[in-house]
A and B are shown apart, each in its own frame.
Chain A
């Protein structure tokens, strides 16, 4: 029972943190929607804990030890998400490189026009 309460508390805190971040506009729209659904998802999951739905769900997936189900899905999410972050980080640094180069070229151009 205590564990159920702990899970509920953690997921509610996570939901609050997400909502605050969204209101402060710290996340882009896509990321905001993603994290909002994740935090609502965890709230629902923790509410389901005391009802035993969890055990039947893990039985459905053929996972004998119910908490392992969380680990499996959690890890899958984390791996996919960090991969996605890597992709966008690479894209950002490629774009940043172009901007830095363009800036240097334009600065040189402006300078040569000034001295002419």
Chain B
């Protein structure tokens, strides 16, 4: 059973689900959200999918924000935050459309937010709960990022690429205004810290990806690593309003 304060918070929450060609998994994700996060508004941001993501999300009862052009994960997620900002939601919870994040775990994030010590709470796979295993080469990359970000932010982060997050109003308002475009998870932590926001991690259980591939692979991995390293050294990389 959910605690009364979590229930109340869910009724003032907007669940942001970025989705690019997630037709096979999107319904299950939305059903899970309705079941485990009662009262929360579900907003699917369809990032120019070429499959039936939009129709399936609507059928499952989500509000769909459909982008006319593919903006990439950063632009998609930010659209959800802009919506949450405009509609006056107190909290926003980001859950990937591919079924990797368990809606039943979201209350851990929210509870940490409600404790009032953090503006952003990130669900981490690596804090002891669950038995998520990433392929070895990815693990090295994640380790590398983790140490860089932890060094730069002055706090230890274990899962910098996790897109399972909860934000309070202050964080929503920052990200609605500024959000990195290409591989936003890592940079957004630094951006938030730079603006004086408190970012915390809580342990969560995650599933391995049900279908499709990570958006970061091949040559893109190199681009990703170089970009993040530069971002960490110079502050935030990215254009005006990005």
Contact = CB atoms under 8 A, between A and B. Distances in A.
Interface of A: 90-91, 93-98, 100-101, 103-105, 107-108, 112
B75 A100 contact: yes
Contacts of A103: 67-68
Given A97-B71, A101-B67, 16 more contacts: A94-B239, A94-B241, A95-B241, A97-B75, A97-B181, A98-B241, A101-B75, A101-B79, A104-B45, A104-B65, A104-B79, A105-B79, A105-B82, A105-B86, A108-B63, A108-B64
A94 B71 contact: no
Interface bin, chain B: 20 to 34
Main secondary structure of the interface of B (DSSP, over half): mixed
B163 to A, nearest CB: 18
Given A101-B71, A103-B68, A107-B66, A94 B240 contact: yes
B71 A100 contact: yes
A91 B240 contact: yes
Contacts of B66: 104, 107
B207 to A, nearest CB: 28
B82 A101 contact: yes
Contacts of A112: 63
Nearest to A109: B86
Contacts of A94: 239-242
Interface string B225-242: 000000000000001111
A101 B239 contact: no
Nearest to A103: B68
22 contacts: A91-B239, A93-B239, A94-B240, A94-B242, A95-B241, A97-B75, A97-B241, A97-B242, A100-B67, A100-B68, A101-B71, A101-B78, A101-B79, A103-B68, A104-B65, A104-B67, A104-B68, A105-B79, A105-B82, A105-B86, A107-B65, A108-B64
A103 B67 CA distance: 8
Chain B CB count within 10 A is highest, among A91, A95, A100, A105, for: A100
